[in-house]
Amino acid sequence: MSQMTRTETGLDAIAAMFARAKAENRAAFLPYYPIGFPGYDDSLAAIEAMAAEDVDGFEIGMPFSDPLADGPTVQAATQKALENGITVSRCLDAVRELRARGVRQPMLMMGYLNPILSYGIDRFAHDAHAAGADGLIIPDLPPEEGAIVAAACAREGLGLVFFLAPTSSDERVALVARQATGFIYVVSLTGVTGARDHLPEYLTQFIHRLRAHAGDVPLVLGFGISTPEQAQRLHGLVDGFIAGSAMVKAGAAGTDAVRELARSLRRAR
Amino acid sequence: MSKMQNGSAMPDERGYFGEFGGRFVPETLIPALDELTAAYHEAMADPAFVAEFNQLQATYVGRPTPVTYARRLSETLGGAQIYLKREDLAHTGAHKINNALGQALLAKRMGKRRIVAETGAGQHGVASATVSSLLGLDCHVYMGSVDIARQQPNVFRMKLLGAEVIPVDSGSRTLKDAINEAIRDWVTNVRTTFYLLGSALGPHPYPMIVRDFQSVIGIEAREQIQALAGRLPDVCIACVGGGSNAIGLFHAFRDDEDIELIGVEAGGLGISSGQHAARFADPDIGRPGVLHGTRSFVLQDADGQILNTHSVSAGLDYPSVGPEHAFLRQSERAFYTYATDEEALNALKLLSQTEGIIPALESAHAVAEAIKRAPAMSKDSIILVNLSGRGDKDLDTVMRELHL
What is the 3-class SS of A127-191, one letter each residue?
HHHHHCCCEEECCCCCHHHCHHHHHHHHHHCCEEEEEECCCCCHHHHHHHHHHCCCCEEEECCCC
Residue A209 has pLDDT above 90, yes or no: yes
> Which tops the pLDDT comparison, A178 or B172?
A178
Residue B8 has pLDDT above 90, yes or no: no
Q: Which of B248, B223, B236 is closest to B385 using CA atoms?
A: B236
Q: Which amino acid is at A111?
A: G
pLDDT in tens, A134-147: 999 999 999 999 99
Per the rule left: phi > 0, alpha: psi between -120 and 50, beta: everything else, B254 is: alpha
The predicted pLDDT at position B172 comes to: 83
Average pLDDT over residues A1-22: 84
Residue A65 has pLDDT above 50, yes or no: yes
Q: Tell me whether strands B382-387 and B81-86 are parallel, antiparallel or unpaired.
A: parallel
CB of A113 less than 8 A from some CB of B: yes
Average pLDDT over residues B258-287: 96
CB of A162 less than 8 A from some CB of B: yes
CB of A172 less than 8 A from some CB of B: yes
Q: Are A163 and A177 within 8 A, CB to CB? A: no
Outline where DSSP puts E strands in B242-368: 260-268, 286-291, 294-299, 334-340
Q: Best of B177, B305, B308 to disrupt the A interface by mutation (most A CBs within 10 Å)?
A: B305
The model carries a pTM of 0.96
Cross-chain CB nearest to A113 (options B24, B30, B32)? B24
| Interhelix angle B30-44/B47-56, nearest 10 degrees | 90
**Per-domain residue ranges for chain A?**
10-266
Cross-chain CB nearest to A190 (options B30, B188, B300)? B188
> B60 burial class (0-12, 13-18, 19+ CB within 10 angstroms)?
middle
The predicted pLDDT at position B111 comes to: 97
Gap from A67 CA to chain B (nearest CA, Å): 8
Distances (CA, A) of B77 to B99, B237, B382, B402: 34, 16, 13, 21
In this complex, do B306 and A88 lie within 8 Å of one another by their Cβ atoms? no
pLDDT in tens, B353-374: 999 999 999 999 999 999 999 9
CA dihedral A17, A23, A25, A27 (to 10 degrees): 10
Q: Which amino acid is at A213?
A: H
Average pLDDT over residues A238-253: 97
Residue A7 has pLDDT above 50, yes or no: yes
> B360 burial class (0-12, 13-18, 19+ CB within 10 angstroms)?
buried
Q: How far apart are CA B98 and CA B200, in angstroms?
A: 12
Q: Are B389 and B217 within 8 A, CB to CB? A: no
The predicted pLDDT at position A2 comes to: 42
Q: Which residues contact B146 (CB under 8 A, 6 or more apart)?
A: B172, B173, B174
Q: How far apart are CA B191 and CA A190, in angstroms?
A: 9
φ and ψ at residue A268, rounded to 5 degrees: -65, 120
Buried b (16+ CB within 10 A) or exposed e, B141-169: bbbbebbbebbeebbebbeebebebbbbe
- CATH architecture assignment, domain A10-266: Alpha-Beta Barrel (3.20)
Chain A hits for B22, Cβ within 8 Å: 144-145
Outline where DSSP puts E strands in chain A: 28-29, 32-34, 58-61, 107-110, 135-137, 159-164, 184-187, 219-222, 240-241
CB of A13 less than 8 A from some CB of B: no
Catalytic residue positions of B, numbered: 96, 118, 388
Q: Which residues contact B275 (CB under 8 A, 6 or more apart)?
A: B268, B269, B310
Q: How far apart are CA B44 and CA B47, in angstroms?
A: 7
Average pLDDT over residues B93-106: 98
Residue B192 has pLDDT above 90, yes or no: yes
Q: How far apart are CA B186 and CA B84, in angstroms?
A: 37
Per the rule left: phi > 0, alpha: psi between -120 and 50, beta: everything else, A31 is: beta
Residue A263 has pLDDT above 50, yes or no: yes
pLDDT-derived band at B5 (thresholds 50, 70, 90) equals low
Q: Are B91 and B56 within 8 A, CB to CB? A: no
Residue B1 has pLDDT above 70, yes or no: no
CA dihedral B44, B46, B47, B48 (to 10 degrees): -110
φ and ψ at residue B31, rounded to 5 degrees: -60, -35
Residue A1 has pLDDT above 70, yes or no: no
Which residue in chain B has the smallest CA separation from A86?
Answer: B303
Q: How far apart are CA B73 and CA B83, in angstroms?
A: 10
Q: Best of A114, A144, A192 to disrupt the B interface by mutation (most B CBs within 10 Å)?
A: A114
Chain B hits for A223, Cβ within 8 Å: none
Q: How far apart are CA B128 and CA B105, in angstroms?
A: 11
CA dihedral A51, A52, A55, A57 (to 10 degrees): 20
Q: How far apart are CA B263 and CA B336, in angstroms?
A: 5
| Interhelix angle B341-355/B361-373, nearest 10 degrees | 80
Which residue in chain A has the smallest CA separation from B190?
Answer: A190
In this complex, do A115 and B303 lie within 8 Å of one another by their Cβ atoms? yes
- Beta bridge pairs of residue B273: none
pLDDT-derived band at B404 (thresholds 50, 70, 90) equals confident
In this complex, do B289 and A118 lie within 8 Å of one another by their Cβ atoms? yes
| Mean pLDDT computed over every residue of chain B | 96
Residue B186 has pLDDT above 90, yes or no: yes
The predicted pLDDT at position A5 comes to: 64
Distances (CA, A) of B402 to A32, A95, B96, B346, B352: 52, 54, 27, 9, 13
Per the rule left: phi > 0, alpha: psi between -120 and 50, beta: everything else, A44 is: alpha
Chain A hits for B21, Cβ within 8 Å: none
Q: Which of B383, B342, B313 is closest to B73 using CA atoms?
A: B383
Residues of B with CB under 8 A from a CB of A: 14, 22-32, 170-171, 176-177, 180, 183-184, 187-191, 288-293, 298, 300, 302-306
Three-state secondary structure call for residue A4: helix
Which residue in chain B has the smallest CA separation from A80?
Answer: B171
Residue B339 has pLDDT above 50, yes or no: yes
Q: On the CB side of B404, how many CA atoms lie within 13 Å of its CA?
A: 11
Task: Give the containing element (helix H, strand E) for A8.
Answer: none
| Interhelix angle A121-131/A88-100, nearest 10 degrees | 20
Residue A78 has pLDDT above 90, yes or no: yes
DSSP assignment of B38-93 equals HHHHHHHT-HHHHHHHHHHIIIII-PSPPEEE-HHHHHHHTSSEEEEEEGGGSGGG
Residue B130 has pLDDT above 70, yes or no: yes
| Interhelix angle A245-253/A40-52, nearest 10 degrees | 110
Q: Which residues contact B29 (CB under 8 A, 6 or more apart)?
A: A167, B183, B186, B187, B190, B203
Q: Which of B177, B123, B115, B116 is closest to B145 using CA atoms?
A: B177
The predicted pLDDT at position B230 comes to: 97
Q: Which residues contact B74 (CB under 8 A, 6 or more apart)?
A: B80, B81, B82, B374
CB of A87 less than 8 A from some CB of B: yes
Q: Which of B207, B20, B298, B127 is closest to A64 using CA atoms?
A: B298
In this complex, do A88 and B304 lie within 8 Å of one another by their Cβ atoms? yes
The predicted pLDDT at position B4 comes to: 61
